[in-house]
Copies of this chain bind each other. A is one copy, B any other.
């Protein structure tokens, strides 16, 4: 009945950063499952059947990404459902606090959150082993969604100044909630994701490195808002 530290050590030697990678895969898996739910639910706001079909297709793709991540976790002996549990609360809180009230708010939410998730991936990708990096890249690579969302938002904002003002406020709220729940994710991650993000080569303490990263993500968000002619 004694613990077997040597087994743990072996595993750690064979898969360096293994625990962090598994936490990251579980975080992305739950992120894709939530994104699926969000996109499919937002399809109800679509002004035309054609728009609804585009969103439904995006949602189905997000679910297939979830399945890829879930299979990879299973191949590593990890039960995806159990591993995702710790990330339910911060992601659910984010979605509950940022429920879009109409079609444009839902497009804006997709635009802002996809951007932040991709920035986060760019920050973390250097720490990943090659197969994980390829998987994550596949899962986060652009769908036809981005172009669709930007087109729809640009033309709506160009033709309605008040909508632009409202969406600028909404964008600020979205990024604020996202960064606040990102802190929740770091707290829940039991150190794994944090370890991936923090570089041992840096003289800075981990918390300062993370805070600098969140700052870079906020700057990138401002550039994305400017690309829509909105003040961040």
A135 to B218: give the CA distance in the assembly, Å.
Answer: 49
Question: CB of A114 within 8 A of chain B?
Answer: no
Interface of A is mostly: helix
Inter-chain contact A81/B40, CB cutoff 8 Å: no
A220: Cβ under 8 A from any B Cβ: no
- Given A59-B40, A63-B59, A66-B56, decide whether A81 and B33 contact each other with a Cβ distance below 8 A: no
Instruction: Indicate if A188 sits at the interface (CB-CB under 8 A).
Output: no
A123 beta carbon closer than 8 Å to chain B:
no
Determine whether A204 belongs to the interface, using a CB cutoff of 8 Å to chain B. no
Given contacts A49-B88, A53-B70, 12 further A-B contacts (CB under 8 A): A33-B52, A36-B56, A36-B60, A37-B44, A37-B52, A41-B41, A41-B44, A49-B85, A50-B81, A56-B66, A59-B60, A60-B63
